[in-house]
Structures are given as structure tokens and as C-alpha cells.
Structure 1
């Protein structure tokens, strides 16, 4: 089995807020893949003693352990338990009800000899390649359906849309949000490879339109995740008039996880 994990911070002077892991049980009968994109808070509106990297490491570590060791749990249950564990680790010191409590997008995949399960929450992406080479994006597109004008205000976004009905959902402190994730199960025979990416890496397709999801998957398969991220960084630097980036930060943390089953 071939696999690759790479994460590059958007700013070398700041900690990377993404998380990625690959779990391979000793039994050799399956495995799991976890990718998180921590949500960067405004510096003036943050109500937690702990950093976003602390949160993604805690949540990602729990997802990694539970997805491998508790195969009796569905991925929705795995995410709910991981959120609860992480919340319990700092609820005594921090205001977990604040809309800017640490949070993250989630991609979680788990496979066995018979099936491939998946879970996607918010705007990171999971791409599935079939034995015939067809690539299917598994996405939670609720954030992309929020009117762009509404997203210009962090305060409005948090107060009315984040983790609210009619808005979009991220993994924060409420385990019930796990039920909002996009989930499903595929026959193992229908899956040749998986790629999970945070939105700092998917910019190549969804912001700069350099190719579709199949093209992106082919690039990762042939040249690796670093090559994709290098191309994204070059496009970001070239977009001096911000035709493609708009109000987005110039560089974002970018993570690519790839595994051939």
C-alpha cells in the first residue's frame, strides 16, 4: 500500500493548524485516514486558553485512535466521542459556548476488506478513485452555499451561520454536530485510492480552476502532494490583483493525504 501525508503552513512564522494521520491496525485488515483544518480565529475575538493547533492535535488524535480501535462505532459516533473527549479536556478552563471556541473541518475515512466508510464535515475534501480511474469528490458544500456578502463579516458569520441551522457546521465542542456530517459507505472493490485535502490545497481546483477533481487527483498520484502545494503557492503569488483569491488570505495551511488501497 502506498501512502503520503504532507502539510505545509501558510505562514512559516505561524504554527500549522491542520492535522493529518494514517492508521494501520496491527491486524492488517484495514485502516483509517484523518485530515482536519483548524479554523483560524480573529485575534480580537477568541475565548479559549488553548491554541487551534492544540485543538486539532487533540481532536485528530482521538479520531485516529477511535477510528482504528473502535470498529464497532460508526464514523458519526467516532466523531461525536472525539469531540466530547476534546471538549472535556478544556471545559473547566474555557468558554466552550463561545462561537469562536476552537474548531475544525473534518475528513475521516476507514476501510476494511469489505467496505470504505467516509465522513466529511465542512469544506475539506475527500476524493475517491475507482479501479477504472473515475474520481468522485465527496464534499460538504454548505459553506459554499452561504451568500458571499454574508461572509465578509466574521461576527455575522459566527453569530448567525456557524453551527446553526441553515448555515454550516464545524467540529467544535458540541458532539451532536457529528450528525450533520456527510457520510456513506462504499464497497471496497469500488475504491482504488483516496485523497483527503484541506482547502489550502484544493485551491488549485476550486479557486484557481487549473483543473477539475480528476486532474487534481492525477497530479497528486503522479507527482505527489508537495507538487500540488507548490503549484498552489505559485498561483497565489501570481494573483497580485486578487482576481481568484478575493478576500481570502494569500497563503493558507495546505494538507494532502493520499493512500492507495
Structure 2
């Protein structure tokens, strides 16, 4: 397996900073998607979301490289704690809207493919036959009785999110709550049963969630044109969407995808 990414293709949403992050190492890969900043809300933190995502990504990468024997949940917890320590006294990390990130991590260890998913990033596993299996933490979309407000985009109100974020019965993000690591979705499959694995932020998975694609079609386009072809497909679908306000979330979002095959990895 090649462990160096080629054709890196993260792309920011139009007219905004890129709050996604990806990293690839020897037998592991991850993508992160920044979460937490709302209009007129500081989240108790002086740092931009991009800073938090970069620090979290750096700590996750270091622990994945240096602690291959540790469970992914322990690595995620250590990375959260290290990120929290990077903040200064001006940041109130007890604030429920403190910036963080959703995550999708995979690792090859002991002939297994292991994964950890928190939030709306995705791990998608192709086993060479049938439709690939997707692992997406969709708890934020299954909140009973969640109020929705209409504005420039359709989303939950910050006041409501503050009551259910990083709490049992709500949803979780990495960044300022070490317990989020234990609430991640985790699993493993034998490496020999896996053909390829895709990790992406929700700026890419919206092809399947909004626009009717199957994951087999996503893999096929990536095989044909590389990750950049998926980004082009996303932007085209977003531009042609006749009614983007029907979706919860932004019309355009940062989009990052990393695909690992058993003989190579590219992003």
C-alpha cells in the first residue's frame, strides 16, 4: 500500500475559508470538518474554527503515528485533551458551542480495517460486491422534536444546539469534550474483505444524501476521474439545485475526500 497522498483535492466552499482538514500516514488516514461557529456567537473561544481543526488534526496525526497499539477512541480522547491544552485562558471550553470538528478516521492494524466516525463525516467501505457500506453518525438528524429556523440557510438555532451538543441523547463533536471519543461510532473488518475505503466530509456525501447518487457511482466516478471529479460533481449539483433551502445546512460546503485502496491511497 502506498501511504503518500497524490492529487490532494480538498476544496473550500465558494467565498469562505476551508474548515476541512485531511491527513494520511502509514496505515491510517483521517478527514475533519470544522463545527461550531454561529453568526454572532463566539462559542467562548477566541480562535477561528480553522485553528481548532488544524490543532486537532495535528494531534490526531501524531497519536496515530506514535501509538499504533492504542484503540482509536483512546487516540481521539488524547487528541481532544491536547487540543484543549493548546487554548489559553481567554477561551471558555465549557461553553457548549466551543469550536470543534466532526471526524472520520480509518487505520489498518493487525489485518483489520478499523474506523472511528463522529458527526457527519463518512467512512464508506467497498468490499468488491454489492453496494458499499457507509458509516455516518447521523444523530444530529435524528433529534426528536428538534426546532428548525429559517434564515439564509435552513438550520437549528444556536440556543437549541447548546442544549444537546456533546450531551447524551444529543450529538457529539471532537474538540472540547473528551467524552466525545467514547461516543464515536467504531468498528472493524478484516482487511482481506475490503477492496477500497472512502472517507469524506459532508460536502461530498451530500451527493448521496441530497442528490440521489449511490456510493457505487461515487466510487466509479473517483476511479474514472479522481477525487477532483467528485468535487466537480458536487459543485455542479449545488449550482443546479432548484430549491437549496429545503436542505438543513449550507448550499455550498467545504468538500474533502480521501480514498484508500488496498494497493494505494489518494486524496
1:230 aligns to 2:227 (yes or no): no
CA contact (8 A) 2:166 2:177 kept: no
Q: Distance in 2 between matches of 1:151 and 1:217?
A: 33
Q: 1:169 aligns with which of 168, 172, 185?
A: 172
Alpha-carbon contact 2:29-2:106 (below 8 Å) kept: yes
Give the Cα–Cα distance (whole angstroms) in 2 for the partners of residues 151 and 190 of structure 1: 41
- Measured at CA, do residues 85 and 172 of structure 1 come closer, stay the same or move farther in structure 2, by a change above 3 Å? same
1:255 is the counterpart of 2:256: yes
Runs (5+) with no aligned partner, structure 1: 25-30
- Following superposition, the deviation at residue 247 of structure 1 comes to 4.8
Match of 2:31 in 1: 35
Q: Which residue of 2 aligns with 1:28?
A: none
**Structure 2 CA distance for aligned equivalents of residues 187 and 246 of structure 1:** 36
TM-score by length of 2: 0.88
CA deviation vs aligned residue, 1:208-245 (integer Å, no higher than 9, x gap): 11x212222222222221111111111111124326x5
3-state DSSP class of the match of 1:150? coil
**TM-score (ref. length: structure 1):** 0.90
Query: What secondary structure sits across from 2:168 in the alignment?
Result: coil
Contact 2:36–2:97, Cα closer than 8 Å, also in 1: no
- 2:24 paired with 1:22: yes
- 1:100-128 deviations in Å (ceiling 9; x for gaps): 21111011110036111110001111011
* 1:182 matched to 2:189: no
Aligned to 1:115: 112
Q: Deviations over 1:136-163 (max 9, x none)?
A: 1122121121258524342233222211
Q: What is the number of equivalent residue pairs in this alignment?
A: 252
CA distance in 2, matches of 1:221, 1:99: 41
Q: Return 5+ residue gaps in structure 2 as ranges.
A: 150-155, 263-267
Work out the CA distance in 2 between the residues paired with 1:158 and 1:141: 15
Alignment RMSD (CA, Å): 1.9
Matches of 2:63 and 2:128 in 1, distance apart? 29
Q: 1:193 aligns with which of 193, 196, 204?
A: 196
Q: Is the 8 A contact 1:151 1:157 kept in 2?
A: no
Match of 1:27 in 2: none
Secondary structure, aligned partner of 1:257: strand
Change (3 A) 1:151 1:73: farther
**Distance (whole Å) between structure 2 residues aligned to residue 242 and residue 176 of structure 1:** 35
Give 1:58 shift. Answer: 0.6
